[in-house]
Structure 1
Amino acid sequence: MRILLALLCLNANRPVPPARIINALWSGNPPRTAATALQVYVSKLRQQISHADAGNTVITTDSSGYTLRTDSCASLDLTVFDFLTRRAQQVARAGQAREAASLLSESLRLWDGAALADVRGTSTMDAYARQLEERRNAVREKRMEIELSLGRHSQLIGELYVLLEEHPMWENLYAYLMIALYRSGRVPECLAVYHALRRQLDEDLGMEPCTRLRELHRAVLAREPWLDHADSPLSAA
């Protein structure tokens, strides 16, 4: 039933066809009684929602499928996350970098561990989880860029090291970490980060770091002036 709830939440205020739900619940190999079982699950979920303090959230049924209807943006973390990231994009375009960074940080604090961690295991839910993780990662990168543009490089270093423990092949994170270390006066450590990645890529995949990182490494060796200026576009790397 947690998979059913997750699927409806991911598609809040949009109908989900029974066939898609059945495929998610039984990984494409449903029993003959799947349609009846789904009706039972929906009935039980309706009862739980009605007993919970869920505002005006209800599950409706029509020819298109089942819909989790909620009239409040704050009812689901995902809708709050999307609202905050859209708002951050708006204020960033208006030149309000500090507010954009604050909004992105607030949106990321809504996360607690991996996406859909307790309902993974089927192809459908794994695909949704990957999609959500990619959205979070895009927000992480945008926040890093804004924080660096605000001169907050020292505060990012510890966070970047932790993220790289979780994502050791995420090359953009290495670029942000190298810049943060360089601007913090830790040039040898900056170069060591690059060489550690280069060695890992060579041993594991037989390849070199991406062009962006190679150019950044060259810029660090040459101590190019743009590296010292927080407002320099990171595309210079």
Structure 2
Amino acid sequence: MRFRILGPLEVATDHDEGATPQALKLRSLLATLCVHADRVVSTQRLINALWGGAPPRTASTALQVYISKLRRHFGNLGVGSSIIATQSPGYVLRLKHHSLDLRQFDSTVLQAREAVIASLPHEAAQLLSEAIQLWNGPALADVRATPTLNGYARQLEERRNATYEQRLELELGLGRHGELIGELYGLVHDHPMWENLHAYLMIALYRSGRIRECLRAYSNIRQALVEEIGVEPCALLRNLHHAVLSREARLDDPSQSLLTSSPSDPVGRQADRAALRHATR
């Protein structure tokens, strides 16, 4: 079986036959188990994921019913009901030989970190690109009805965002600024308040000799921030803007990490933060 949660919840057999449960409660339950795959999820956490802060008095019984239905669902697919095991204080999804896109994402990002450590930036950038391509929209897109599930989804998306920045940092360091401009314009359109993306766009435009567009990119994010939330751009953007106006030589040097304090391991540092968020949720 193949499980996907980096987008809408999807389950497919090894023969690419759709096997996603139809009922929202079953999908929400399965999504929560997938987020914590091979780890025990307590009964209380599952109840919170299914009903939020106002569960019915019969929530424990209803949860047992939903677990039974999920087991029957997988049993009918020939997987075996043991894929969902009872283990105090709750239940655990045992993946064994089954695949999960989140696990593949984490593994690919880890490989990228190892490639950076081994001074293989081209390979690292390619691996990060492959990790991002595993995403098929917002995480848990069809099951974010409760604060718990929405919180899980936001944590996953933060890890995707960190991966985006890691890849952009590496690509700029490899001198691929011209190739990134189109992608960056699309990203800032989709994420108009994500300041670092605007900074990457400014750098890519500047290094491509498109100074007017670079300055316009700063003007656009500044205007959006001031008009919509009443704040000036962050210090990083302001300093970058000043550097562009001064035509500082460091802007043309791909080895200069203009958005991080330590350019030696951008993947490792951000991966560490993502792993910490993942471990403590």
Shorter-chain TM band: over 0.9
Where 1:70 maps in the other structure, the secondary structure is coil
Unmatched segments (≥5 aa) in structure 1: none
Is the Cα–Cα contact under 8 Å of residues 46 and 58 in structure 1 kept in the other structure? yes
* Unaligned segments of structure 2, at least 5 residues: 1-25, 262-281
The residue that corresponds to 1:6 in the other structure is: 31
171 and 97 in structure 1: CA distance in 2 versus 1, 3 angstrom threshold: same
- 1:138 maps to 2:162: yes
Q: TM-score, normalization: structure 2? A: 0.80
Query: What does 1:40-189 correspond to in 2, within 5 Å?
Result: 40-52=65-77, 58-72=83-97, 75-189=99-213
Aligned length: 236
Alpha-carbon shift at residue 50 of structure 1 (Å): 2.9
Point out the structure with the larger helix share: 1
Q: Bigger shift: 53-62 or 184-193? A: 53-62
Q: Which amino acid aligns with 1:71?
A: K
Structure 1: distance between partners of 2:127 and 2:151: 27
The separation in 2 between residues aligned to 1:53 and 1:228, in whole angstroms, is 58
Match of 2:245 among 211, 218, 221: 221
CA distance in 1, matches of 2:215, 2:107: 38
Q: 2:91 is paired with a residue of what secondary structure?
A: strand
CA contact (8 A) 1:57 1:71 kept: no
- What TM-score results when the alignment is normalised by the length of structure 1? 0.94
* 8 Å CA contact 2:71, 2:80 repeated in 1: no
Check whether the contact 1:56–1:71 (CA below 8 A) recurs between aligned residues.
Answer: no
1:35 aligned partner:
60
Give distance in 1, aligned partners of 2:140 and 2:260: 37
- Alignment pair present for 1:198 and 2:219: no
Q: CA deviation at 1:167?
A: 1.3
Q: How many angstroms does 1:223 deviate by?
A: 1.3
Amino acid at match of 1:151: G
Q: Quick check: 2:71–2:82 contact (8 Å CA) kept in 1?
A: no
Contact 2:75 2:81 in 1 (8 A): no
Q: Give % identity.
A: 57
Secondary structure at the aligned position of 1:20 is classed as helix
Q: For residue 54 of structure 1, report the CA deviation from its aligned partner.
A: 5.6
- TM-aligned CA deviation for residue 28 of structure 1: 2.0
- Gap change, CA 1:95 and 1:56, over 3 Å in 2: farther
CA offset digits 1:95-141 (Å, max 9, x no partner): 11011001100010010111111001211011101101101000000
CA RMSD of aligned residues (A): 1.8
- Counterpart amino acid of residue 61 in structure 2: T
Higher-RCO chain (CA-CA 8 Å, sequence separation at least 6)? 2
Distance 1:53 1:161, change over 3 A: farther
